[in-house]
Structures are given as structure tokens and as C-alpha cells.
A and B are shown apart, each in its own frame.
Chain A
Amino acid sequence: NAGVTQTPKFQVLKTGQSMTLQCAQDMNHEYMSWYRQDPGMGLRLIHYSVGAGITDQGEVPNGYNVSRSTTEDFPLRLLSAAPSQTSVYFCASSYSSGNYEQYFGPGTRLTVT
């Protein structure tokens, strides 16, 4: 089991560029989610999915898009990068959100200049 994998590990973007952060899991988890982590702000939920074809917004969804075409993959798209999106991004997965452990990926450190 690879668990939850994220690519890339590091990325530098210029303002206005777009990119996709990749997340994949091999545990057949239905629930997947994206968080961003900024100093003093904790882990803030961007988007989440309860199964293939089903996504919903979290607490800070503006500027981000997601899709879930398969159970395994949950990519996060930055449409037009802004310096405010400089952060560490974590993807997580589990059988469900309520009563199962969340498995986190190693994170992607994104800098927008």
C-alpha cells in the first residue's frame, strides 16, 4: 500500500498561472479532502468528496476547483494563482469523515510569487 500520495512536493508559481495538485490513494476510501495549512490558521478545508462524482465545498473554496472521476484520484486545480494561495496543501482520505481515521498525504508546499 502506497497510502495517500501527493505530487509535486514543492512548486513555485507566478501570479496568474494555473496548475493541478495531484492526490491519489490506494485504500479504496470513499471520502477524500483537501486542506491548506498556514501559520496560526490550522488546517482549513478547501473541498471534499464523499465518493466518485460527488464533491462539495469546504471552508475556503474560492480560487480552487476539484473533480472526482475515480475513487482513487482527487486533483485540486488552482485556476489563477495568487500570492494568498502560498501555503502547504494536504490531501487526506478515509472510509468516511465521521468515524474513521483520516490518512494524510505528505503535503505540497506551494509558493506563488
Chain B
Amino acid sequence: QQPVQSPQAVILREGEDAVINCSSSKALYSVHWYRQKHGEAPVFLMILLKGGEQKGHEKISASFNEKKQQSSLYLTASQLSYSGTYFCGTVIQGAQKLVFGQGTRLTINP
């Protein structure tokens, strides 16, 4: 039941934009996005709820397509500090557990 993320890895130059996708085969209640720096714990970015409520963080935004059970994370004008591994997590409708995808490794070069 793990969501599927794509791409697995992205390499950008500073200032470029990136999109990370997350998809599920089940009807979703919510989608979570986290970023993890090497050797550290994951840090919360935002939650998207069924029904369209969204919370944002800095220049990072996200969308949630309930019909397709897909979410996309948008990073605009990327900064060096955006480097890390991004995880989407999903809670299926009627369930209580949060399950994460395999992660997308983002590298920002100067």
C-alpha cells in the first residue's frame, strides 16, 4: 500500500524548478509531504486533505487530485537548502495509518 513516487532522483541548478509526484492505488483521505536531510529525521512540509484544504511552506506548494489519487509537490526557484530526500505519505480513506513512499532524492547544485 506504499504510495509510488516519481522521479526517484532529480538534479537541478540553483533557481530551477522541480516537480515530484506521488500516486496511490487507493482512495486517499490525506497526503503528507516531508523532507529529510542526510543523517537527520524527516521534517514536515505540508498536508493536503480530501476536499482541497492545503497548507504551504516557503516557495514550496502542492496539489492533490482526488479523482486520480495523485499529489504533486512543486519547488520553485530552488535554493541550495532544498536539497534532500522528499517523502510523500498517504492515509487511505477509512484507515488510520500513515504510509510513506520510497522517496525522491533532490540535489541542487550552485
Chain A interface residues toward B at CB < 8 A = 31, 33, 35, 40-45, 48, 50, 56, 58-59, 90, 96-107
Query: Which A residue's beta carbon lies closest to that of B91?
Result: A98
**Residues of chain B within 8 A of A105, CB atoms compared:** 41
Q: Looking at the assembled complex, report how far the CB atom of A4 sits from the nearest CB atom of chain B, in whole angstroms.
A: 9
Contacts of A56 in B (CB 8 A): 96-97
Interface positions of B (Cβ within 8 A of A): 1-2, 5, 29-30, 32, 34, 40-44, 47, 49, 87, 89, 91, 96-103
Q: Closest chain B residue to A35 by CB distance?
A: B100
A7 to B43, CA, bound (A): 19
Q: Give Cα A98 to B103, complex, Å.
A: 19
Q: Which of A98, A102, A104 has the most CB of B within 10 A?
A: A98
- Shortest distance from the beta carbon of B102 to any chain A beta carbon, whole Å: 4
Q: A40-B102, A101-B47 are in contact. Are A45 and B32 (CB under 8 A)?
A: no
In the complex, the chain B residue whose C-beta lies closest to that of A58 is B97
**Given A104-B42, A106-B41, are A98 and B101 neighbors across the interface (CB < 8 Å)?**
no
Contact B97 A45 (CB under 8 A): yes
Contact B96 A43 (CB under 8 A): no
| Given A50-B96, A59-B1, A99-B47: A42 and B87 interface contact (C-beta under 8 Å) | yes
| A50 proximity list for chain B (CB < 8 A) | 96
